[in-house]
Amino acid sequence: MKIFSGIQPSGNIHIGNYLAVIKQWVAFQEKADCIFCIVDWHAITVPYETKTLQQKIKEVASIYLASGINPEKSIVFVQSQVKEHSELAWLLNTITSLGDLQRMTQFKDKSQKHSQNICAGLLNYPVLMAGDILLYQTEVVPVGEDQKQHVELARTIAKKFNSKFGETFKIPEVSVLKIGAKIMSLTNPDKKMSKSDPESSRIGLFDSPEQIKKKIGSATTDSGREIKFNPKEKPGISNLLTIYSLFSDKPIKDLENAFASQSYQSFKQSLTDLLVEKLEPFRNKKSELDKNPEFIEKILADGAKRAEKQAQETMQKVKKVMGL
Ligand code: AQP
């Protein structure tokens, strides 16, 4: 089985990215051929800092490794180091419907968020993502809820291409968790936790115990006192219960029973302790990796070579069937 997925180096990776996506990658790694990309060409579709981009790329690589991605088993690389991604994206642009791109939820959301700066790249983002996926004949794409629509569009594009030019691409399936596919913001639990939102709205994987304590302590809860999972009526507590459940591997029902007679404050204290404990290995591994930047550079360079080989094979097929 072939797996492909990626994360943008657009800010601090948070527990939403980890619980919904990176944890799936670690599990897939045991049973499949995996390719994990740092999608820097996606990150430049909204305003960004050129000076810190390389540092952010290295940080995402550290997170992959600190989370248990084994670069000897899986391919880890930076998208812009394999030029076939942009080549295939251009070709797929010629068969992608403009209407499909305009109705993408992320395009609408990000156009609103960056209304002064809507570039064509933001509209074409899903075509580049389809290229990323199809280039490796991917069978399964593990993502969070918000990226499901883009994987569905990649399937539509692959099917259209195959019917127009002949069987070329595998049709990828999406893998989205049943619980935890959308971790919500700590300060506004009606919105997803996001890398580019204010610091207090998310827990970063490398946050210190003090930061975790402060953020969980001030996380929005709901009126009432019961620790009950009810995302419609109690979105704040339901989000914290989901985070607790995924980090402790305990079902939400068991947590509701365990905290039945306790206050929000003692539940938050217990969640803080759990997060401090579970994120400690990430912080430790990061300080180890920070001492050896050449190690990460070597992994990314090796990964790009391995990815490029597979990407070139697909591009040869694509160009041939397109008459290029
Ligand atoms: N809150 C979330 N809960 C669960 N999954 C999430 N993902 C993102 N936010 C959550 C999933 O993480 C993967 C990588 O995300 P991305 O880098 O492609 O960017 P994004 O989806 O746009 O996520 P962010 O964190 O909100 O980044 P910015 O702020 O840069 O836009 C994807 O699989 C995504 O579904």
83-140 per-position pLDDT tens digit: 999 999 999 999 999 999 999 999 999 999 888 889 999 999 999 999 999 999 999 9
- Gap between the Cα atoms of 221 and 133, Å rounded: 38
Q: How confident is the model at residue 42 (pLDDT cuts 50, 70, 90)?
A: very high
Looking at residue 224, its pLDDT comes to: 86
Whether ligand 1 lies within 6 angstroms of the CB of 195 is answered as yes
Among protein residues, the one whose CA lies closest to atom 23 of ligand 1: 194
Closest CA to 88 of 130, 55, 141: 130
Looking at residue 220, its pLDDT comes to: 94
pLDDT in tens, 259-309: 998 999 999 999 999 999 999 999 999 999 988 889 999 999 999 999 999
pLDDT in tens, 213-256: 999 999 999 888 899 999 999 999 999 999 999 999 999 999 99
Q: Is the pTM of this model over 0.75?
A: yes
Whether ligand 1 lies within 6 angstroms of the CB of 176 is answered as no
pLDDT of 12 above 90: no
List domains and CATH numbers for the chain: 2-181+292-322 (3.40.50.620), 206-287 (1.10.240.10)
pLDDT of 147 above 90: yes
Going by C-beta distance under 8 Å and a sequence separation of 6 or more, which residues neighbour residue 13? 7, 22, 59, 60, 63, 195, 204, 205
Q: How confident is the model at residue 162 (pLDDT cuts 50, 70, 90)?
A: very high
How many A from CA of 263 to the centre of ligand 1? 31
Return mean pLDDT, the chain: 96
**Extended beta strands in 33-144, E state:** 33-38, 75-78, 140-142
How many A from CA of 23 to the centre of ligand 1? 14
Among protein residues, the one whose CA lies closest to atom 27 of ligand 1: 195
**Extended beta strands in the chain, E state:** 2-7, 33-38, 75-78, 140-142, 173-175
For 2, counting Cβ atoms within 10 Å of its Cβ (0-12 exposed, 13-18 middle, 19+ buried), the class is: middle
- Gap between the Cα atoms of 145 and 148, Å rounded: 5
3-state helix, strand, coil in the chain (%, to 5): 60, 10, 35
pLDDT of 322 above 90: yes
Please give the number of the atom of ligand 1 that sits closest to the Cα of 106: 22
